Chain A
Amino acid sequence: MIDAALQGMRMVMEPTALLVMLIGVLIGTFTGAMPGITGTITLALLLPFAIKLGPIEALALLLGSHVATEFGGSISAILINVPGTGQAIATCWDGYPFARKGEAARAISIAAVCSGVGGLIGFAFLVMAIPVMKELALLLGPPEYFIMAFVGVTFIALLGEKSFIKGLIAGGLGLMTAMIGLDPVTSSARYTFGSLYLWDGVDLIAVVVGFFAFAEMLDMMTKGLGHSVAGGFKVEKPWSQVWQGFKDVFIYWKTTLVTSIMGVVIGAVPGLGGTVANIMGYAVAKRVSAHPELFGTGVPEAIIGPEAANNSKEGGALVPTLAFGIPVTTAMAIFLGVFVMMGIVPGPEMLGKNLNLTFALAWILALANILATGIGMLCAAGMSQFTLVPAKFLVPAVFGLGAIGAYTSSNSINGVLVAVVFGFVGFAFRKFGYPGAPFMVALVLGTVVERYLHLATRLYGPLFFITRPVALTIVLVALGVVVYSVVRKRQSSMRREVAPV
């Protein structure tokens, strides 16, 4: 095994492979920051070039760009509140408040470093997990996946925000929005009002563009068009901010570690993917934090959680792809296609005859993460100046980028309509104090919840959460956490009421 690991490393350390990987990382960072151009689109665009290269160079280009898009998506999320990819949705929630305080360089540095650390944890998992993966896959089934997704929705609604009820209403509205489209079991149309566009449900990128970016621009306009993202704050000592961001990731090491491990597990589960990893990373970071009430105001842990999780998930996603030939995400399906085009058969051969190739992939994953981190840290100080641009320039630019992102993600002009509608919804949510996070979490997890609920009830009956020991354990732990959180919140509010006396 060590021989195969060393052989894999030698294959990746060839100058051409390293150069191609660097190009991939640069392209991925740029496209990731462009709203609407997802990691999958980047992979599809690079594919014609990749197949002309050798197997290692091709995988270095594709995996390098794919890893970098994960970080690239956080750049526009932090600077203009528009997630470059769906996998940076939760990064907006505290990344943008950082920019508003004049600390965008720190936020980008945090995103770059924790993406790298998360990716390296994913790499370690990939190396270690292959022998035990089969047993783990047998332990978890639809009931457990349903409960995990449902718990994710309720946690984010219950924890943190000022009003529990408004959090729950926002979560409920998010779930209702997720019901738009074809029913996953009977394929009958629900809430589509005769529109074919809505058969696939509302486009997530379009909703995010409207709900966060457009709503934010409307909010900025109420403050005056001389206002900038950083407001009255100045971008001071950007290089010190970059260093502080680097340190933050290790100061909050517990958050980095826990969310990275969670990301790896989510990555290995079919059908969840990067957006779920990003949002669950936020929820778990909030859970682990000593001051969850500050989430949403710009705290380092709230960037560490989603970014570490969405990068570490690549290691997890590669395990079933390589070991069983089961691609768990669209990007992994493209990788699988590349393997087949190059005559590599995923499955048991990857753990035997082609073990060196498996290790080469793991090394590419690790090196691409390190490269993306370096590039991110070098560019963070310069990019932070963007937050000083006044609204009169920023508003039309964000409207333009957002609209084109909403259009390209579904290749339909209806995406712009959806973005505008959710722009009004997001603006109203802000004005009346409804939190945005539960809405978005519920929207993302809604389809997952429904799919696994159907499967669980079909396979194990309506009492599946009692009859399955693992599912029952998750339910009991979740109930315990909810009760503890409610009690803690009530105690702290009672303390606040007593304090002035």
Chain B
Amino acid sequence: MNYISLQFVNFFIIILILYYIMPLRLRNFLLLGTSLYFYACFDIAYVPFLIFVALSTFIVAKVKKRKKLWLWVVISANVLLWFIIKFHYFIFAYLDQFLGIVKLPPIGDKFSILVPVGISYYILQAIAYVLDVHRNKIEPETKFWKYLLFLSYFPAIVQGPISRYDKLMPELTKSKKFNYDTFANNLLLVLLGLVKKMVIADRIAIYANYCFNNYDSLSGFTLYLGAIAYSIQLYTDFSGCVDICRGVSGMLGIELAENFNHPYMATSIKEFWGKWHISLSSWLKDYIYIPLGGNRNGALRKNFNLLATFTVSGIWHGFGMHYIVWGALQAISQITSSYTITLRTTIKQWLKIEKDSLSERFYKHFITLHLILISWIFFRAENLTIAFRYICNMFTEWNILELMNNSLFDQGVNFFYFIILFIHIAVLFMSEYYANKHKNMVLIIRESHIFIRWSIYFVLIYDLLLFGVYGSGYDTSGFLYGGF
């Protein structure tokens, strides 16, 4: 059951009605049952994996003796489980290669291991929970069903945000009376998320996919536009889905953590990682970067820690050198940045760019966004070779006149939809810029005059109906971050 499907809408309406007519004390039981049912709808075989992760971490968090040993046992077991499930295809491929060398029959085709949806997310939640208990940051949960609800909570299980126990559990257990304004705010958040996902992400994906699938026969400006298209697709797809999940949860009176804070407004890579996939970034910071020593043991150690943290981030996203290089690039950009402050200051002085001026902000934005753009090519490409070839081709035959001929509009996004996309992207980033400076876009709309507010609702609904990519031929399973 996908979040963007009629099946989910029907399912959620029923849950919503039951939820608000049910006595407060029974609501969390309903949420647990609903969450398990939702997860089982993908495949009933996924549920034992969830139960194993929940049970193992729940028990170990309560252990009194040899706490450290059990802690490492349970973390290792869960990471190993995740690693085998996630990368079994590659493990068996390499194993079969080895067996071929020693003249033994291959075994890879005999094993078919399921990859449960959302396992990468709830395992991180579970590890954070046992570590926080071990560090005495939180008390261990006494009721297993509550802990299972924390891990399986249906709006967040597919692609996060990765919630912390001390943040989500109070939300789950608080008294959740119906509040009209909260409900309306979250419904609007769902609508905005749907527009981001269905109108922008899925439309621009057509062009991005065309460029990445035909990188060998394309060059210059087309591939550059393709990389920009993918950057926008990734952001609108992921943040759109998170908006939907947060909105759905909010309608139940449960607030999920923010996962994005206008990341493309960042003026440095470090700032970008404080704004992009915040729940993962903060998890990596709290459970890898800081335990490794953070920035406490000198510059060299700090650089190593950064590199290790982002490499883990790369591995978390998937198997392949291109993910590792993508992760490493984030660290290298930050390390390089710290060593080139003097050089960059000299360049800015030479270019007569004043500190904190508009031109400096533009310069910082431009550099940051292009570093991210390059790194996303590694993220999107199927392997390292393709990523390098894409980048090489991007820097050949650079001809901006390509924009003038109609070939740009022959790749699945015609002139009309290109203009529609352009308007949407412009409105999205202008509103992000405004919201970054002032306050949440949802609140800005909700606090406006009823005539303006209703007009915006109508525009958004019609926008979705007319320009959304849906209907026959639309792959509803296509959330980019649902695959990680």
> Do A and B belong to a common assembly?
no
Which B residues are within 8 Å of any A CB, using their own CB?
Answer: none
**Which A residues lie at the B interface, using CB under 8 A?**
none
